[in-house]
Amino acid sequence: MPHKEQPDFQELLARGQEGDRRAVGRMISRVETNGVADHVMMRQLWAHTGRARVIGITGPPGAGKSTMTDRMVKYWRKKDYRIGVIAVDPSSPFTGGAILGDRVRMNDLALDTGVYIRSMSTRGQLGGLSLACSGAVSVLDACGYDPILIETVGVGQSEVAVMNVADLVLVVSVPGLGDDIQAIKAGILEIGDVFAVNKADLPGADRTARELQIMLGMNPDMNADPPPILMLSAEQNQGVDALCDSVENRFALMQDSNELMTRRNRRLEKELLAYIQDRLYKRVLAPVLIADPFANNIEAFRANERNPYTWAEGIMKKIEERTP
């Protein structure tokens, strides 16, 4: 059966580009449900994308990411940017669409028609959180939002994976984390392009910044061009302007050195190959595995009654017989 184009999509897109936030929301819901598998929609979006600067904001729970996002949006609104915000909520039981609750600290922003805020939970997407997020970014980009901020807690793997969707990653740290700074080091230090020490109104911020500096200095990849470390107090709105300017400068540098395009190309390739792999698995491998699942053979493998490598070759052979 030929794939019928959704007649209303072009209209939704046109309305979204004119600033109709409900149209934007409907498009995001659609990609969120179907991911890039909604190829009709993704194809139509493609020609309109590539302009937005996508900023990932990550860090430990309670570091002030939402407060920072709120302040950064307000600073950039003064420059008349239209801004998209995606808040990935690891614990929320409901999926997107909901205007954010108190937890996100951006309630007054929701009234600003130049800002689109969306929360996304880690549950409920077919293709995984990163794909849903990437689809949402494409919609916002196509509708003229720039920059787009993605906030996520730097804990679980899927939350960290979301940062792959960003062009630039801002890692937020705070004083008094103690040993927790080791946790940051383990997961997200490598992916940071700009570092922020928030809550600089509290004691110990200088020390945190110094520790970060030392840790970043130990990473040989970063020696050539160490990422900037900025101190701020989001709550008191101190240092937010310098942070925003630093992020924008970083983007300009990445653009000049072609790093931005390199990252985007790599990301696109990875995303599409992952999608193809997933389709291949479902269409080619899964039907063959059903007849002779790995799990059914474990005891025979362990008892040396059957060889696991012979089993794997057998699976390959069946696939080759099915695909002429």
Ligand X SMILES: Nc1nc2c(ncn2[C@@H]2O[C@H](COP(=O)(O)OP(=O)(O)OP(=O)(O)O)[C@@H](O)[C@H]2O)c(=O)[nH]1
State the minimum distance, in angstroms, from the CB of residue 102 to ligand X: 9
Instruction: Give start and end residues of each alpha helix (H) in the chain.
Output: 9-17, 21-34, 39-46, 65-77, 129-142, 157-162, 180-187, 205-217, 240-256, 259-280, 286-291, 294-302, 308-322
State the minimum distance, in angstroms, from the CB of residue 298 to ligand X: 40
CB under 5 to 8 A by kind: which of Mg ion, ligand X, none does 58 bind?
Answer: none
Should residue 198 be labelled a site residue for Mg ion when binding is judged by CB under 5 A?
Answer: no
CB under 5 to 8 A by kind: which of ligand X, Mg ion, none does 82 bind?
Answer: none
The nearer residue to Mg ion, 108 or 313, going by C-beta atoms, is 108
Look at residues 84, 96, 49, 57 and name the one whose alpha carbon lies nearest to residue 271: 49
Site for Mg ion in 212-271 (CB under 5 A): none
The nearer residue to ligand X, 130 or 233, going by C-beta atoms, is 233
State the minimum distance, in angstroms, from the CB of residue 59 to Mg ion: 9
Task: Count other C-beta atoms under 10 Å from residue 182's C-beta.
Answer: 11
The nearer residue to Mg ion, 66 or 134, going by C-beta atoms, is 66
Distance CA 235, CA 200 (A): 10
Residue 207's identity, in one-letter code, is R
Distance CA 269, CA 266 (A): 5
Residue 124's identity, in one-letter code, is G
State the minimum distance, in angstroms, from the CB of residue 147 to ligand X: 18
State the minimum distance, in angstroms, from the CB of residue 89 to ligand X: 8
The nearer residue to ligand X, 53 or 199, going by C-beta atoms, is 199
Q: What are the residues binding ligand X (CB under 6 A)? A: 61-67, 105, 153, 198-199, 201-202, 233-235
Any residues with CB less than 8 A from the CB of 107 and at least 6 apart, and which? 100
State the minimum distance, in angstroms, from the CB of residue 134 to Mg ion: 20
Site for Mg ion in 8-67 (CB under 5 A): 65-66
Q: Which residue is nearest to Mg ion (CB)?
A: 66
The nearer residue to ligand X, 34 or 152, going by C-beta atoms, is 152
What six digits make up the tokens of 248?
A: 């924008």
Size of the site for Mg ion (CB under 5 A): 2
Residue 155 exposed, middle or buried by CB count within 10 Å (0-12, 13-18, 19+): middle
Any residues with CB less than 8 A from the CB of 15 and at least 6 apart, and which? 23
The nearer residue to ligand X, 95 or 198, going by C-beta atoms, is 198
> Could you list the residues that contact Mg ion (CB under 5 A)?
65-66
